[in-house]
Chain A
């Protein structure tokens, strides 16, 4: 066990865990966050995705001891039910979910990619999303929501 300080969704937290513990279990168990989820524990499906300094990482295979000072953002940190982030709003508008379990992977992977590549083509978005699984196969709506967010983001000057 060791004491580890983390910045999660803009707030500082201190946890006392084995530094080898994957970040996912710290977020889900120590901090009771609901966004990142255990899908495979192997970094293959995306359900545990969080943003780490703006990059999408798989928290199920990221040891908490390696996280450092960078900000961790989960779906909760992006927006709220009352004030969703534009990419969350796009998913609500497009009704782009069925069971909803995969959404951390889908939304945060897309956001991180578009933050880096604001002018991405559909083919590039498709490529970026080729490492994320949704077993309900909401692909049509999800990709439409991502496109909508990307277009809105560009029109808004990329501030989101």
Chain B
């Protein structure tokens, strides 16, 4: 099956209406009208406890599944269809999937954090619903055929007697005139992995044929009758507010329908897109000067001194100072990471139709229900009068402009009284998005006389403002803030001893510590003396999750510092890691990557360093992503041109374990893309600013690696851990690239890179500073 133009939004809606008729509408309505939705959102009318909210079986045997986890380019659309097809024993072309539509799909919060696989592919939610449906159909067949359920089997859209294939009944025949009006079973059994025939195989993505032929409907392609085009006029400086808007300045621009001003939010609406662009560029807006920005050259030092500071321990064994005092050697280093941006290839776009006291939003958001609530707040409508229909945009990698442009479209449509499509400009997107966190990380480690790590002390500073808006903070993104809603800002809080278990969701703790909180130890390593302290301070720019948020920055610091420790004690970096790790699964991915890479066991740097020429080296890094969501190790082989400081990666070798894989080909696609996106971020990406405004506002001023560069080969060793929990695979490899790369450069040259990005100038400076 491929997604064809007729299986797009409208057909889905039309089709699903017919498909659910046999069930009646009642089961969809959550009669209890929950006081609050499951993700701090306002209640959904789709009750997640009812089977019919997830799965419908039509009279013709077609399965319609509904999910709150949506395709963002990561392949989850196809994988969820595989899951439903597998559990219900139907071919994949018999399954339709409705994603993240607040009128049709259950509220599963945000599609983020590599959580779609853990949440929907284990024993809850979509997987549980599909298993519940299969068991219900088998029970119906048992009544129909007069045969006990344990003698029946579901095969190819039918239920038949195991010993007699002639006694068979189709799903459609079982459903006809009946309803599956039942709750999700808590005891429904997933199909055992050994019986999988569809799930766990590399089914090709169902959407690629439509995409490569230009047939696929992105949100940018949504066209609604009577639709106008909107463009935004963003402030000229950070913190600038509207002093005056001269509407007469665009009165001669053809096609202009309306200038919209809502506090500091300014936009124009015109009949045609080009007219809106012209009007946006010609509209005279007088802005206040804004706020002076901290000097970028001293920004990392600035972060250390900021108050208020929200402080938190991930873990604190309370003996670190003593352990460091008694250590044979104490090593220290500081690692720096800049703000980076999502930099979606497509500037964000949304379409809104706000009329007659209700709103429909076609949005590329990862957060359909939260956006519904945010739009309701901005428009002054009850949430049940707002429908958000997820419609794919460009890859987002976290909170790009998707939510903010959805708000823009809603507000402009409300003002114009007609449907409005808003396309952000490249500068709108890049100057005002929620950047990935900058970081300053101090590492301090004590070593015993034999080189064993005895204490690990980690202290980090990061700036934060805004974030995902959730249900009630539209000011967490630029549009809401301009419209008068406050963003979340950091308030002072002292660090307290953590309770409630070890949570390494931000990978603030290195893999080498025990992670003991209370009486339980959740870490993957052996170092018992551990203190992990984070200071969150106020950011002048909006921030938010960017693929592997905080995990990447922390892991860069941990894995490079681990390499420094190994080098100090003249140990092989792989052997030194293995010596301090305890979790068998992280040990296995490290060994797998090293073996596949033909790792040459010896200390770094390589022997016989020279100050000139091309230097070749290898580096390794590893992580248990988010502390519980995917094991990964990566070896990077690099060449460093010591004359120019240019780094060329020849090869990445990845060892990976994310439990039972839904689609190994999809896992590879994610690992490859993550490794190279990580490479682009490690080599060149950095948000820049002057005293008033962001200056990285297009692809000349924010440098991304292009499709054509010296692309390394990428080899993946995938461990299919069939008896484990299914975990995410979308953010594992990217977490390791900068660290593996920095370690490889050290191995090649003896120069240690402690600041991302590794620009040629910065590499050259590190090379020049060597004492060779």
- List the interface of chain A (C-beta within 8 A of B): 1, 17-18, 20-22, 25, 28-29, 32-42, 44-45, 47, 74-76, 78-81, 84, 88, 91-92, 95-107, 125-143
A78 to B212, CA, bound (A): 10
Write out, one digit per residue, whether chain B residues 329-364 have a CB within 8 A of any chain A CB (1) or not (0). 000000000000001111101000000000000000
A7 to B404, CA, bound (A): 37
Cross-chain contact A42 with B212 (CB below 8 angstroms): no
Is A25 a contact partner of B217 (Cβ separation < 8 A)?
no
- Complex Cα gap A136–B673 (Å): 6
Asked if B665 and A45 sit within 8 Å, CB to CB, the answer is: no
A51 vs chain B, min Cβ distance (A): 12
Q: Is the CB of B395 within 8 A of A98?
A: yes
The residue that B669 contacts in the complex, of A38, A45, A78, A138, with Cβ under 8 A, is A138
Shortest CB-to-CB span from A111 to chain B, Å, is 12
Majority DSSP secondary structure for residues of A touching B: loop
Residues of B at under 8 Å CB distance from A? 2, 4, 72-75, 204-205, 207-218, 220-221, 223, 229, 254, 272-275, 277, 343-347, 349, 392-395, 397, 423, 425-426, 665, 669, 672-677, 679-680, 698-700, 704-711, 713-714
Contact status A45-B699, CB under 8 Å: yes
- Seed contacts A28-B221, A101-B218; 20 additional CB < 8 Å A-B pairs: A25-B273, A76-B213, A81-B215, A88-B212, A98-B395, A99-B72, A99-B392, A99-B394, A99-B395, A103-B212, A128-B708, A130-B706, A131-B708, A133-B345, A133-B706, A134-B707, A135-B677, A137-B673, A137-B677, A139-B707
B700 and A143: CB pair below 8 A? no
- Identify the interface centre among A37, A84, A131: most chain B CB within 10 Å of its CB: A37
A105–B669 Cα distance when bound, in Å, is 20
Q: Measured between C-beta atoms, what is the minimum distance from B734 to chain A in Å? A: 9
A63 to chain B, nearest CB (A): 10
Contact B74 A98 (CB under 8 A): yes
How many Å lie between the Cα of A152 and that of B418 in the bound state?
50
Can you name 19 A-B pairs with beta carbons within 8 Å?
A28-B220, A38-B346, A40-B347, A40-B698, A42-B698, A81-B209, A96-B208, A98-B669, A99-B394, A100-B207, A107-B212, A128-B708, A129-B707, A131-B708, A135-B344, A137-B677, A137-B705, A139-B709, A140-B676
Complex CA–CA separation, A96 to B708 (angstroms): 14
Q: Are A132 and B214 in contact (CB under 8 A)?
A: no
Q: Once the chains are docked, how many angstroms separate the CA of A66 from the CA of B205? A: 39
Q: Are A140 and B216 in contact (CB under 8 A)?
A: no
Q: What CA separation (Å) do A141 and B713 show in the bound complex?
A: 11
Q: Is the CB of A137 within 8 A of B274?
A: no
- Most B-side CB within 10 Å, residue of A81, A92, A143: A81
- Identify the closest chain B residue to A107 (Cβ): B212
B215 touches A34 (CB 8 A): yes
Give A80 to B343 CA distance when docked, in angstroms.
Answer: 30
Interchain CB contact under 8 A, A45 and B345: yes
Cα–Cα distance between A110 and B711 once the two chains are bound (Å): 16
Q: Are B214 and A34 closer than 8 Å at their CB atoms?
A: yes
A41 touches B347 (CB 8 A): yes
8 A-B pairs with least C-beta separation:
A35-B214, A129-B708, A99-B73, A75-B214, A99-B395, A100-B211, A137-B676, A98-B73
Alpha-carbon separation in the docked complex, A12 to B715 (Å): 48
Closest to A137 in B: B676
| Residue numbers in A under 8 Å from B345 (CB-CB) | 39, 45, 47, 99, 101-102, 133-136
Task: Quote the shortest CB–CB distance from B649 to chain A (angstroms).
Answer: 12
Chain B's nearest CB lies how many Å from the CB of A67?
15
- Whether A38 touches B423, Cβ cut-off 8 Å, given contacts A97-B211, A98-B74, is yes
Residue from the list B214, B215, B272, B346 in contact with A25, Cβ < 8 A: B272
Most B Cβ at <10 Å: residue of A29, A42, A139: A139
Contact of A17 with B272 in the complex, beta carbons under 8 Å: yes
Contact A95 B665 (CB under 8 A): yes
Indicate if the CB atoms of B272 and A29 lie closer than 8 Å: yes
Q: Are A131 and B673 in contact (CB under 8 A)?
A: no
Residues of B within 8 A of A104 (CB): 214
Q: Which residue of A32, A37, A40 contacts B218 across the interface (Cβ within 8 Å)? A: A37
The distance in angstroms between the C-alpha atoms of A84 and B214, with both chains bound, is: 11
Given contacts A41-B425, A100-B208, A132-B706, contact A74 B214 (CB under 8 A): yes
